[in-house]
Structure 1
């Protein structure tokens, strides 16, 4: 049961990445450090 998720930058608010996760094994929200092209920095991105 994989679902598509979008990752939003926590500092600027842009939707930068699309990913997927297995909701049965990982019910919590995903948080990863990713590159934000608007700010040109590695920032925290959270599942929307």
Structure 2
């Protein structure tokens, strides 16, 4: 299957000294070759922030 699970991490939290929030999402590797970016809620900052795909450890 071309669909894979990706981890999205907040891009703004570390700049403000807070822990980053993370979400799981999926994407189709064949149709979407670039990294995923979504606006998601960060409970530590109490607002919607930009979350980007990170590499799995």
Q: Report the TM-score when normalising by structure 1.
A: 0.88
The counterpart of 1:28, out of the listed 17, 26, 34, is: 34
Q: Report the TM-score when normalising by structure 2.
A: 0.76
Moved over 4 A (4+): none
> What is the RMSD computed on CA atoms of the aligned residues?
1.1
Judging by fraction of residues, say which structure has more helix. Answer: 2
Structure 1: 5+ residue stretches without partners: none
Structure 2: 5+ residue stretches without partners: 15-19
* Larger Rg belongs to: 2
